[in-house]
Amino acid sequence: MTADFTKSVGILIVSTVVVASFSLLVWVVPNIVRGPEIAIGSAALPLTAIEVAGRDIYISEGCHVCHTQMVRPLDPEIARNGRANKESDDIYEFPNLWGSKRTGPDLTNMGRKYSDQWHTIHLINPRQVVPTSIMPSYPWLFEQKLSGDDITGKMETLRDLGVPYSAEDIADARLQVRGKTKGEALIRYLQSLGVDTSEEAL
């Protein structure tokens, strides 16, 4: 009787490695090779220190669980959310926040859509501006202040990953963030979304 992978651990391991290496080859390698070429055509701008801090709050509060940042190139989606994403939009995104579930609207091109004041009210209690909203309230974001202690390390890590921060950007980072509320930082991030790329042609 010949052994197949359901019976032999050895074959199972070898076939898993082969399949995993294949996906590495077709997904990862082309992106590494084409990385510099994609970056040349990119309109994306690196986030400022306060925007980086806001992005971390977006992640820690799980905003990406209900909101995508990925407009697909389909007419109804472009009509609703603006310009479709390009691969060059995400060269400074570590990790990307494309998301996969849309309980709320896509936020790719959110910047400039509302005022800071609208966002503040909406985050404290979404029902104040959208009566039927099912989005949770986040009142503590405007009570908790950021120390800025970890921002320098984060900016340095992003620089190591390829975000072109200057020594000055990194030196100023802590001062930019220190004493700001989490909500203020989050709004700076929301207002930055798509302002660099949304006007660019499809």
> What is the contact surface with ligand HEC in residues (CB under 6 A)?
58, 61-63, 65-67, 103-105, 107, 110, 126, 130, 133-136, 138, 186, 190
β-bridge mates for residue 176, sequence order:
none
Is there a contact between 139 and 127 (Cβ–Cβ < 8 Å)? no
Q: Shortest approach of ligand HEC to residue 190 CB, angstroms?
A: 6
Distances (CA, A) of 125 to 9, 12, 104, 130, 141: 54, 52, 15, 9, 11
Closest CB to ligand HEC among residues 99, 170 = 99
Q: Shortest approach of ligand HEC to residue 42 CB, angstroms? A: 24
Cβ 123 to ligand HEC shortest distance, Å: 6
- Smallest gap from Cβ 81 to ligand HEC, in A, equals 8
Distance CA 116, CA 33 (A): 40
The nearer residue to ligand HEC, 170 or 194, going by C-beta atoms, is: 194
- Which CB atom, from 25 or from 65, has the smaller least distance to ligand HEC? 65
- Residue 7 or 112: which CB sits closer to ligand HEC? 112
